[in-house]
Amino acid sequence: MQPSESARISPKITRVSPVSGAFPLRPGPLRSGKAYRRRGGFSARTAAPRSASAPPPVPPSVAPPLFAAADALFSASETGEFPNVEAVRQESRAGMNYVVEAMKEWRQNQRRQVMTVRDPLPPELHTLIQEAGQHFWTSARQLANESLDAARRAFESEKNDLIQLSAEQSAAFESQATELAVTLERLAELERQAAEAGESVREMSQALEAARGARLQAEQEAALSRLQAEENARRADELRAELEHAHREAEAAAADARTVTEALRGDAERLRTERDRAQQRQDLAGEEIARLTEQLTAARGETAAVQTALAEVRAQSGAAERVHAEQLTQAEAEKRRHSEQVTGAETARDEARQEAAAARESALLSLPVVPSLHPLSVSSIIDSNSNYIITITINKVTPLSQ
């Protein structure tokens, strides 16, 4: 083998790595699927990092669950295909960046093969072992080419894995973006509903406050109405009690009036009897007065006759004058006697009237005393014909208002 050929092959072999392949890409997060589709294919720029910072390493506590989830999905796959990033993320419930980095490592571990890298033969040994090493170098070149082919295949496989991972990541990002958009729309809808609900709550609060105010006013009015009703009921009870008391007083007054009326009626009958008796005595006195008046008239006539006779006798003699004087004396005595009889009759009449008045007064004094509590008044008069008139007045009872 020529040194130039060995130099040409050697750099390629030395760059082969069992982990990253013949041409390892610069570490960093992959671009989204939109950027990959916009450029029409996979390129080194697609896999370039968005920023100068490296992707966060997978924490030791997060990697085992991710590897376990990937192993479980790979074992459950019937086609033997590697699980995608979204399935592993949903299975492990981990972050997308951690899942992508862990899946890279997991796929590399699945394709990792032990490769033997042989160094080229030193130049100082070429002359010594050129013949013996010709076959050796042929085998070494073959092995190197095989290793290179294996590295290329690993690179292609890893590139395909990266493309698939990028697509899966893009799909996952798009799914998450869709979910985020739906979530944002839902959040906006919820915020709108919350705003409407808040407005409704404010309106309901205002309505509730108004209802509370109306209820408080209604309760106050109801309380005032109850107080007025209780006051009216109390006033009605008082008026009813006063009316019943007035009725009882009126009934008692009526009963007393009936009692007084009966008593007065009896007294009136007694007074009427006494009046009749007094009238009879007065009639008798009148008859006696009339009789005495007649006697007086007769005596006066006799006196006139005597005076006439005396005048006639005077004309006669002195003796006749003495007789006439005696007769005149007798006539005067008779006249005085008749006058005394008339005076006695008038005195008897006056006494009869006084007795009748005393009887009436005693009848009034003997009447039952009517209490001043009862609205009853009794009055009596004597008319011009000496008739005794009794008047009983019952006043109407009117309850006093407070």
Give residue limits of the domains in the chain: 3-186
Mean pLDDT of 204-220: 89
Residue 165 and residue 96 in contact, taking contact as beta carbons nearer than 8 Å: no
pLDDT at 339: 81
Under the banding of pLDDT at 50, 70 and 90, the label for residue 370 is very low
pLDDT score of 32 more than 50: no
Answer whether 166's CB lies under 8 Å from 30's CB: yes
Region 78-104: what's the mean pLDDT? Answer: 86
Question: Residue 56's Cα: distance from chain center in Å?
Answer: 64
Answer left, alpha or beta for residue 85, where phi above 0 means left and psi between -120 and 50 means alpha.
alpha
Using alpha carbons, select from 33, 27, 29 the residue that is nearest to residue 173.
33
In this prediction, residue 79 has a pLDDT band, given cuts at 50, 70 and 90, of confident
At 325 the pLDDT is: 81
Higher pLDDT, 143 or 30: 143
Closest CA to 108 of 33, 159, 163: 159
CA distances from 279 to 275, 381, 382 (A): 6, 18, 15
CA distances to 150, 203, 264 from 117, in Å: 12, 81, 163
Quote the tokens at residue 108.
């590399």
Bridge pairing between strands 388-394 and 376-382: antiparallel
The arithmetic mean of pLDDT across residues 51-61, rounded, is 66
pTM: predicted TM-score of the whole model, two decimal places: 0.26
Rounded-to-integer distance, Cα 30 and Cα 103, Å: 13
Q: Which helix (H) or strand (E) holds 17?
A: none
Q: What are phi and psi for residue 376, nearest 5 degrees?
A: -130, 135
User: In sequence order, what are the beta bridge partners of 376?
Assistant: 394
126 pLDDT above the threshold of 80 = no
Per-residue confidence band for 351, with pLDDT thresholds at 50, 70 and 90: confident
- Residue from 366, 364, 360, 363 nearest 383 by CA: 360
Residue 83: left (phi > 0), alpha (psi -120 to 50), or beta?
A: beta
Q: Return the closest-CA partner of residue 380 out of 267, 279, 254.
A: 267
Q: Are 136 and 144 in contact (CB under 8 A)?
A: no
Higher pLDDT, 40 or 314: 314
